[in-house]
Amino acid sequence: MLVDSHLHVWRSSQDYPEPAATAVSSYSDVPLELWRQYMDEYSIDRAILVQPVYPGEDNSFVADCAASDSDRLAAVCVVDPSNPNAPDKLEYWASERGCKGVRLRPRIMGEDTTFGDPTTYRLWERASVLNLVVSLLASPEHLSMTALLAERFPDVNIVIDHMAHPDVESGVSAPDFRALLDLARYPRVFVKISGYYYFSKVGYPYADCWDFVRALYDQFGSRRLMWGSDFPHVLLQLGYRRCLMLQQRLYPFLSEADLDRIMGVNAADLYW
């Protein structure tokens, strides 16, 4: 089974500021039909549509896309955790519109100040009741708070996007990366081994990231790691096929059973 655990689709819009950190412009249309072409070409069984930054809390597009093929597509929504009505908004997107996860983004300026604040606990409680997966777009400095949240909400599955953007120049023994490895003590914390180009200093095949992936494997095991492409941004970085094959080509320590879990089974179990 192949499950792409992290991709984006969106309608083009100039109503939002142009993010500087992404490869594909929000002014370009990234329709579901384009993703379906890649899904079919590479025999991807299922996929998780993560709400992009541009539309804010209007999750309508990803929700509608997922609802059009709910056996193969799942949506991860965004709500503003600082909003007092955030729990009810989350319930709407989950119960009425079918979203299976929610993404919190402390890495984004303006959203970091509320991460882990007690005023947001009601949102986490509602996510637990709704059995939603909480994805975190985080940096290393957010991992200590992530540990506290994992402790406080042990029934919530937490997925760390893009390996929490490690500082690869500091090495796997650096305290920041050790903080990520230490999250393995919480059985419902998962890590996406994805988005290498956001933190690698050397480019494809990202040799400076290999030791980090091995350390994550040694600490979390294959049952709590997930592959994701970061489509469409991956298309302008290394291409979809190389992204899909990277784990199989570069990590000989992964058995076939490990690859099955990382490349699909784990995400399918979480979201379906």
pLDDT tens digits along 63-84: 999 999 999 999 999 999 999 9
Q: Which of 16-25, 135-144, 222-231, 233-242 has the lowest mean pLDDT?
A: 16-25
H runs (alpha helix) in the chain: 32-41, 60-67, 86-91, 121-130, 143-152, 175-182, 210-220, 240-250, 256-260, 266-271
Residue among 170, 117, 161 at smallest CA distance from 137: 161
Which strands form 46-50's sheet, in the order they lie side by side? 3-7, 46-50, 73-77, 101-104, 133-136, 158-160, 189-193, 225-227
User: pLDDT at position 17, please?
Assistant: 58
Share of the chain above pLDDT 70, in %: 96
Question: If you average pLDDT over residues 10-23, what whole number do you get?
Answer: 65
Condensed to tens digits (0 to 9), the pLDDT of residues 156-210 reads 999 999 999 999 999 999 999 999 999 999 999 999 999 999 999 999 999 999 9
Q: Is 108 in contact with 137 (CB distance < 8 Å)? A: yes
- Domain ranges in the chain? 3-271
The first and second tokens of residue 69, run together, are 């093929």
What's the Rg (C-alpha) of the chain? 17
Q: How many CA atoms lie within 13 A of 133 on its CB side?
A: 28
Mean pLDDT of the chain: 95
C-beta of residue 46 within 8 angstroms of C-beta of residue 201: no
Give the integer Cα–Cα distance in Å for 196 and 263: 16
Provide mean pLDDT across the span 36-50. Answer: 98
In the numeric block, which tokens belong to residue 90? 């989350």
Q: In 3D, which of 77, 80, 73 has the Cα closest to residue 102?
A: 77
Distance CA 77, CA 187 (A): 23
Q: Does residue 18 surpass a pLDDT of 60?
A: no
Q: What is the CATH number of domain 3-271?
A: 3.20.20.140
- Please say if the pLDDT value at position 22 is more than 80: no
